[in-house]
Chains A and B, each alone.
Chain A
Amino acid sequence: MKLLTHNMLTSHVKGVINGYPLKLIARKVEVKDVQFNSDFISRMLKKVDWPVLKKTADMIGHGQSLPIELPVDFESNEGFLQSAHHALMEVEIIEGDLECPESGRLFPIQDGIPNMLLRKEETAQT
């Protein structure tokens, strides 16, 4: 699972009001080469919750080159786009957990795939 996707996920356990962002507990992280496309990254950054990306990348030791705030000139700042590309697309969480910020429910990540499925009694619909 990429940090880009982590940025999009929420916990939807019954009763939880704000299940976002999920706390990432990483046990196995790999860095994969992904072809850089500056247009793709700068378009995507408009949809990314930057503070959450920065915080999550920091927590797993891949946030050093990321600024605290999204630079104003981000679309034309090639060096920055490269760092953002690395954090969003190249850092892969292979094994770990996603923790719901309210209920503490753990969603396991195995072989790079987060399992967000809830048991029947955890879902809002009955």
Chain B
Amino acid sequence: MTCIPTPDYSHLKCYDSVYEPSEDSFLFLDALEQEQDFLKQINPLICVEVGSGSGIILTFLASILGGKSHYIGIDINEKASQCTQQSLCHHSIQNYDCICDNMLDSLSSRMRGTVDVLLFNPPYVPTPSDEVGGTGLSASWAGGMHGREVIDLLLPQVDSFLSDGGVFYLLTVEENRPGEICQLMAAKGLIASKVLTRRARNELLTVLKFIKKKLSKDDLK
């Protein structure tokens, strides 16, 4: 397995307002590194990260896949979008755009069925519901009930935006009930699996993977 260097993010000086890469971000990188052969093999054209923050994950994905894909980083925090842009630019990645938005709201319906790789390291910490909905630093961790309130906004969209054979990676903690998320997504016909699990201090982190099955000729009969 080729070892992909961790993106250098020492140039970013915005951690009073943007999520600083942490254990969850690094687990995500390790999961993508482990998945690199699969990712290259599906030959993605359009890659989207929701909640791109510092940009560390999208930059890492781009260093795996190179110039044959277009990378879109979306964040609800405008400062985070600026950081993502700086990270990608700093690593000489050219095929990208950053958008400040809530989830995939501004992707036109034309984009349904075209996203080959979708990534989300969400705000997963269980908090009171009224802490959800900000656009500053609290948006990076405040996840509401079971830490699921923000995750649950994206889940219903995933199936329709993914291309056939496309893949969605999601980081969760135990409190988010990853097993239940897998069942929910499997019910929509996505193939769910665990990529990596790690305990970091008091959190049990897991990166989940969901593949949208390619329709074979048999399915169409």
Contact = CB atoms under 8 A, between A and B. Distances in A.
A19 B107 CA distance: 11
Interface stretch (B9-17, B94-102, B209-217): B94-102
Interface string A38-53: 0110011001010000
Nearest to A39: B68
Interface string B102-117: 1001111111001000
Main secondary structure of the interface of A (DSSP, over half): loop
Contact of B97 (A5, A40, A49): A5
A116 B85 contact: no
A32 B110 CA distance: 27
Contacts, number: 83
B94 A35 contact: yes
Interface residues of A, number: 30
B50 to A, nearest CB: 13
B70 A10 contact: no
A59 interface: no
Interface in B50-109: 67-70, 72, 76, 78, 81-82, 85, 94-95, 97-102, 105-109
Interface of B: 45-46, 67-70, 72, 76, 78, 81-82, 85, 94-95, 97-102, 105-111, 114, 135
